[in-house]
Chain A
Amino acid sequence: SAVISQKPSRDICQRGTSLTIQCQVDSQVTMMFWYRQQPGQSLTLIATANQGSEATYESGFVIDKFPISRPNLTFSTLTVSNMSPEDSSIYLCSVLDRGGEQFFGPGTRLTVL
């Protein structure tokens, strides 16, 4: 399985600011995804990060709030913009391997004050 790392592992931010989360994979993958895991709630897909084109967002998530970059097949970033306390969550990236299995990174724990 792919080895996935995320930076930062955690952060505490002030409301109104933005945070960019990085996701690095040790092998080239076609499909990368960003999820959010809020306390007591289901792990929820934010968007699919497409290499060379705009990300595909799920219902309830918009590009202005969660801009995503995917410059190559091993790296992606998710920015949480204009943060509010409601954005406090764990953000995870994942990749789909050739066997159809999806693997997750360790997550970024974000607290917004």
Chain B
Amino acid sequence: QKEVEQDPGPLSVPEGAIVSLNCTYSNSAFQYFMWYRQYSRKGPELLMYTYSSGNKEDGRFTAQVDKSSKYISLFIRDSQPSDSATYLCGEGFQKLVFGTGTRLLVSP
């Protein structure tokens, strides 16, 4: 069983939609969670970084961690074509463990 699992997609939505990206993880000791956005042929860009359970909001992005169900979510409001990218969820403080990434396509 992989430590972090993520649906590879692609997930296609129209512009303006609310996007929900999700990951599950297996290790109950995980504490630090993050979301990265990766455009094609670019390095991953840190979007959100959270500790333990709860929500964190930054502009159109909300990260949610539910440790009881080992579930990590990223919500994108008012999605834009520029949000089209691969989104990686991960866990860790120094050594990071990632899911395979979900490819998101936002059509105008």
Chains A and B belong together in one complex: yes
Residues of A within 8 A of B (CB): 1, 4, 31, 33, 35, 40-45, 48, 58, 92, 94, 96, 100-107, 109
Instruction: Report whether A104 and B49 are in contact in the complex, using a CB–CB cutoff of 8 Å.
Output: no
Q: Is B32 an interface residue (CB 8 A)?
A: yes
Check if B4 is an interface residue, CB within 8 A of chain A. yes
Interfacial chain A residues near B41, Cβ < 8 Å: 107, 109
Interface centre among B32, B43, B90 (most CB of A within 10 A): B43
A109 CA to B41 CA in the complex, in Å? 8
Chain B residues within 8 Å of chain A by Cβ, number: 24
Cβ of B88 within 8 Å of any chain A Cβ, yes or no, is yes
Task: Evaluate whether A92 and B44 lie within 8 angstroms (CB atoms) in the complex, with A42-B2, A100-B93, A101-B49 already known.
Answer: yes
B interface residue numbers (CB < 8 A to A): 2, 4, 8, 32, 34, 36, 41-46, 49, 88, 90, 93-101
Chain A residues, CB < 8 A from B93: 100
21 example contacts (A-B, Cβ-Cβ < 8 A) are as follows: A31-B94, A33-B95, A40-B8, A42-B2, A42-B97, A43-B88, A43-B90, A45-B95, A58-B95, A92-B44, A94-B96, A96-B94, A100-B49, A100-B93, A102-B96, A104-B36, A104-B43, A104-B45, A106-B42, A106-B43, A109-B41
